[in-house]
């Protein structure tokens, strides 16, 4: 007799801790071939009590067997009208579903759409693996596929990593170290805040997008989610990078910045990016994930920067669904205005 599929929706760590299928869910996520940090329970725990984003975890089971899960965050920026018009659900990493279980993915998406009604203007899946097998399911659910590039740097041996990297990039790393820069972890909250000020300046002047408040980065530093690496010279923070780590297998670039040009012969952005690659080499991780390199049909200087680290280019893409078309257009207009006036 075929077992009934049940769908569960969790929004707090208390919901998870008290759920009878917690261990089965954890085993399913950890054992899935596409398992990643942003779909893991450590990320769900980290996402609690962050003002700008609220977590949502949806999973399916048949009896005591979990068959699929997806985790997203409801994000918004600012207060009042600005917050209302910036509401979106981002599902980093893509859904984790048993192979061939289209009905499970359909059920997860249906539950996500019911949840999103009135809470988000759009939903976006940012895939961390090849999800093309699910393309028809997403298309039938109303999603638009958008190509999006990324680079994955295999961290097998330092010699091979060096061979795949551009010669100029390796020279920048060596020059930065020779001229007194060092890679360290934060010693205290002041170190994290010094990094944050450099990152905030980058977002205000170049990225032109909202950034989490400092508490997000302080919380990450204190958590078991990963590492923050800083680039320092004579005790001064020149840049850094925030790096989630998954299963001692994958390390990610989440946020990175550097005051390039401030110190002669030192490239803080380059050295900060090298830090997780070096960590992966020293600790036996499989690869470093750049977490995005733009759309293939658009020129993107950040992609040029990342390409020179010698990673494999992939195009896992994104799935995008507009939940409220009228408010979505108003929100897009508001973002363009924000980017112009910042």
Residue 208: predicted pLDDT:
86
Q: Which domains does the chain have, with CATH numbers?
A: 5-148+317-341 (3.40.630.30), 151-314 (3.40.630.30)
3-state secondary structure of 68: strand
Helix 189-202 vs helix 214-222: crossing angle, to nearest 10: 140
pTM: predicted TM-score of the whole model, two decimal places: 0.93
Residue 325: predicted pLDDT:
67
Residues making up the chain, counted from first to last: 342
User: pLDDT 10s per residue in the chain (342 long)?
Assistant: 457 999 999 999 999 999 999 999 999 999 999 999 999 999 999 999 998 889 999 999 999 999 999 999 999 876 665 655 678 999 999 999 999 899 999 999 999 999 999 888 999 999 999 999 999 999 999 999 999 999 999 999 999 999 999 999 999 999 999 999 999 999 999 999 999 999 999 999 999 888 999 999 999 999 999 999 999 999 999 999 999 999 999 999 999 999 999 999 999 999 999 999 999 999 999 999 999 999 999 999 999 999 999 999 999 999 999 997 656 666 555 545 444 444
Q: Can you name the residues that pair with 322 across neighbouring β-strands?
A: 122
d(CA 69, CA 97): 6
| CB neighbour list of residue 44: distance below 8 Å, 6 or more residues apart | 10, 13, 16, 55, 57, 71
Gyration radius (Cα) of the chain, Å: 21
Residue 210: predicted pLDDT:
87
Residue labelled with tokens 């390390």: 251
Using a 10 angstrom Cβ sphere, with 0-12 exposed, 13-18 middle and 19 or more buried, the burial of residue 98 is middle
> Among 264, 186, 244, which residue's Cα sits nearest to residue 218?
186
3-state secondary structure of 262: coil
Residue 118: predicted pLDDT:
84
């Amino acid at each position: 007799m075929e077992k009934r599929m049940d769908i569960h929706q969790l929004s707090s760590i208390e919901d998870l801790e008290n759920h009878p299928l917690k261990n089965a869910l954890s085993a399913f996520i950890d054992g899935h071939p596409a398992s990643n940090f942003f779909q893991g329970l450590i990320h769900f725990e980290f996402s609690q009590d962050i003002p700008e984003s609220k977590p949502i975890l949806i999973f399916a089971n048949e009896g005591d067997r979990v068959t699929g899960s997806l985790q997203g965050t409801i994000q918004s920026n600012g207060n009042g009208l600005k917050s209302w018009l910036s509401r979106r659900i981002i599902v980093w990493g893509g859904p984790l579903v048993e192979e061939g279980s289209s009905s499970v993915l359909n059920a997860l998406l249906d539950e996500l759409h019911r949840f999103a009604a009135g809470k988000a203007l759009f939903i976006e899946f940012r895939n961390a693996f090849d999800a093309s097998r699910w393309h028809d399911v997403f298309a039938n659910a109303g999603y638009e596929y958008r190509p999006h590039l990324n680079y994955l740097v295999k961290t097998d041996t330092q010699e091979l990593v060096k061979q795949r990297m551009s010669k100029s990039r390796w020279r920048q790393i060596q020059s930065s170290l020779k001229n007194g820069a060092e890679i360290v972890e934060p010693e205290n909250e002041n170190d994290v805040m010094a990094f944050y000020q450099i990152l905030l300046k980058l977002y205000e002047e170049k990225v032109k997008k909202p950034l989490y408040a400092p508490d997000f980065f302080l919380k990450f530093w204190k958590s078991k989610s990963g590492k923050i690496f800083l680039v320092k010279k004579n005790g001064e923070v020149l840049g850094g990078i925030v790096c989630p780590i998954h299963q001692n297998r994958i390390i990610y670039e989440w946020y990175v910045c550097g005051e390039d040009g401030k110190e002669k012969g030192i490239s803080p952005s380059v050295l900060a990016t090298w830090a997780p690659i070096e960590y992966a080499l020293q600790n036996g991780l499989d690869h470093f994930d750049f977490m995005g390199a733009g759309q293939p049909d658009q020129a993107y200087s950040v992609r040029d920067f990342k390409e020179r680290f010698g990673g494999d280019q992939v195009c896992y893409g994104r799935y995008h669904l507009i939940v409220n078309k009228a408010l979505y257009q108003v929100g897009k207009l508001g973002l363009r205005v924000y980017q112009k006036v910042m």
